[in-house]
Amino acid sequence: MTNSPQAVIAIHGGAGTITRASLTADAEARYHAALRDVLAAGQRVLADGGSALDAVTEAVRLLEDCPLFNAGRGAVYTAAGTHELDASVMDGRTLAAGAVCCVKRVRNPVLAARAVLEHGEHVLFAAEGAEAFAAAHGVALVDPAYFDTDARHEQWQLARDEQRALLDHDGASLAAQRGDASAPATPATEPAATRLPHEPIDPNRKFGTVGAVALDLHGHVAAATSTGGITNKRPGRVGDSPLIGAGCYADDATCAVSATGSGEMFIRMVAAYDVAAQIAWRGVSLEAAAHDVVMNRLPRIDGRGGLIAVDARGNVALPFNTEGMYRGIARIGEAPVTSIYR
C-alpha cells in the first residue's frame, strides 16, 4: 500500500470574454489540441518521477513556443513595436523562486526564470541583466525578430488606431468584429504556425498570460507563469506574471498558484499569495480560498481574470470571473481534460 499523492498538472492560457459566434469548429479544435499536447508533456514528466518544478517548466516552455498564446513566440507588441517578455517559477518544496522581466532576446523566458531560481543569489532579474544572466547559464537567446508574427503585428496596428493599450491578445479579430474591410489582413502566404484563427475568447477582452501548476509523486508542488504583456503597452511596464506572490506562488504547506488577468489588480491584491494565505490562516479549502480571491476580492477593484491552483493533496481549483479561460488538467493514468467555456 502506498501513500504517494496522485500527481497532477493543470495549465492555463488566458481568460476573457467568449465569442462563439465567429468561431469555427476547426479553430476551437486547435486550442484544445494545443492544451492537450502541453498537458500530455507535463503528465509524462510526472509519470516518470520528475519533479513538479520540472513539469511546470516544461509545460510553460511549450506554451511559450505555441503562437496561439501570448508568451514567447506568440508575444504581443509594445507601443515601441518591440516585445518585452516576463516569466517566473517557484518551488513549493524549498520556497526557492526565480523570475525575469522585460527581456527581448530570451527564447524561453521560463527557462531564464528557472536559471535564476537555480543559480541566482537574487529572485528577479530585469532587461539586459536578465538576458546576460540567462546566456551565462546556457539559456538560448534569439534575435528579437524571432518573436514577430503578422497576427500580433496586426493587433498592434489596430491598438494604435484605437489609441489605447489592449490586454494581451487584444485586437486579433477587432477588424472582423467591427466589419472594417479596409483593415490589414493576415497574408495568405504566412506560415500557418504564425497565423491565428478566430479565437474562442474575444481577443479584445483577453488576458493572455500562460501558466502551470503541478503536484508530483513526492508530494511537492510548483508553479510557473509567463507572458508577453499587454498589446501597445508602454515599454518597461511589468505586470503580475514575474512577481512572486502576485502572479505566481508555491508552498508545499498550502498550494501552488498561477494567475492570469488584469496584472495591476493582481499585483495590488497579491492574488497568488492570498490564496495560500487564506488556506494557512483561515483554514479553508483550496477551492474556497481560490474562489474568494477570484470571485470576491479581485472584483472589488475591477480585477478580471482567473487562476489555477493545486495543493499537496491533489485538489485542483481553476476559478475565473470572465466568461471563459483556456485551461486543462491531467492526472497520471487519465486522459487530459481541456476547457474554454464555463
| 333 Cβ contact partners less than 8 Å away, ≥ 6 residues apart | 47
d(CA 143, CA 165): 25
Residues marked active site are found at 209
d(CA 288, CA 5): 21
pLDDT class of 190 with cuts at 50, 70, 90: very low
The pLDDT value recorded for residue 22 is 55
From the number of C-beta atoms within 10 Å of its C-beta (0-12, 13-18, 19+), residue 167 rates as: buried
The pLDDT value recorded for residue 202 is 61
Among candidate residues 71, 102, 72, 87, the one with its CA nearest the CA of residue 235: 102
Share of the chain above pLDDT 70, in %: 84
pLDDT in tens, 208-227: 799 999 999 999 999 999 99
The pLDDT value recorded for residue 74 is 86
Statement: residue 4 has pLDDT above 90: no
- Given the C-alpha cell 531560481, which residue does it identify? 117
Ligand-binding annotation for 262, yes or no, is: yes
Ligand-binding annotation for 182, yes or no, is: no
Task: Return the domain boundaries, the chain.
Answer: 8-145+206-341
Ligand-binding annotation for 260, yes or no, is: yes
3-class DSSP state of 326: strand
CATH number of the domain at 8-145+206-341, out of 3.40.50.720, 1.10.167.10, 3.60.20.30, 1.10.260.40?
3.60.20.30
Ligand-binding annotation for 81, yes or no, is: no
The pLDDT value recorded for residue 231 is 84
| 99 Cβ contact partners less than 8 Å away, ≥ 6 residues apart | 86, 87, 88, 89, 113, 116, 123, 124, 125, 242, 243, 244, 248
Q: What mean pLDDT comes out for the span 101-128?
A: 97
Predicted TM-score (pTM) of the model is 0.89
Asked if residue 299 lies in contact with residue 321, where contact means CB atoms within 8 angstroms, the answer is: yes
Ligand-binding annotation for 120, yes or no, is: no
pLDDT in tens, 193-202: 444 556 776 6
3-class DSSP state of 197: coil
Beta strands in 181-282 (DSSP E): 201-207, 210-215, 221-227, 248-250, 255-261
User: Cβ atoms within 10 A of the Cβ of 116, count?
Assistant: 28
Q: How many helices (H) and strands (E) does the chain have?
A: 9, 13
**Among the ranges given (10-19, 143-152, 316-325), the one the predictor scored with the smallest mean pLDDT:** 10-19
57: its cell numbers: 517548466
**Among the ranges given (25-34, 107-116, 152-161, 280-289), the one the predictor scored with the smallest mean pLDDT:** 152-161
The pLDDT value recorded for residue 175 is 35
Ligand-binding annotation for 205, yes or no, is: no
Q: What mean pLDDT comes out for the span 233-242?
A: 94
pLDDT in tens, 8-63: 999 999 887 666 665 678 888 999 999 999 999 999 999 999 999 999 999 999 99
Question: For residue 129, which amino acid is it?
Answer: G
